Amino acid sequence: MALYGDLGAGKTHLVKGICAAAGIPRGAVTSPTFTLLHEYPGERYPIYHFDAYRIKRIEEFFELGYEDYFYGAGLCLVEWPEHVEALLPEYTLRLRLSHLGGDQRRIDCGIPQA
């Protein structure tokens, strides 16, 4: 799942909610801005939380071994996916988050074509 949106749009907050639904405590989920990837063992499947904000070269994602995650058995959540757009699988669900003011957000969904 690719999560697009400006700073403060709620990407990490959405990840916390998805992880909570998978049995991962909200307090365990933080932004992987400086590490690029956090792995969370969900109750039924692992969740891989990527943050591509600081990616300067696409090769950095190759060094992470992204293919093992993107094409493995877990759920991948990618913040700032525009930095690695060329590497996203064609079936990637794309969510665009917008900050509407206060605590209101809007989520627009791009459903992959089969």
Q: What are phi and psi of 30, to 5 degrees?
A: -135, 165
Q: Contact at 8 Å (CB) between 30 and 38? A: yes
The closest of 41, 91, 85, 45 to 66, measured between CA atoms, is 85
Structure tokens at 8: 């403060």
Assigned CATH for 2-110: 3.40.50.300
Whole-model pTM?
0.90
CA distance 114 to 49: 25
Q: Say what the pLDDT of residue 56 is.
A: 87
Q: Say what the pLDDT of residue 112 is.
A: 65
Per-residue pLDDT of the chain (114 residues), as tens digits, is 999 999 888 899 999 999 999 999 888 998 887 888 999 998 889 999 999 998 888 888 888 899 999 999 999 999 999 999 999 998 899 999 998 888 888 989 886 655
Cα distances from 63 to residues 10, 14, 21, in angstroms, run 27, 26, 30
Q: Say what the pLDDT of residue 26 is.
A: 81
Q: Say what the pLDDT of residue 7 is.
A: 87
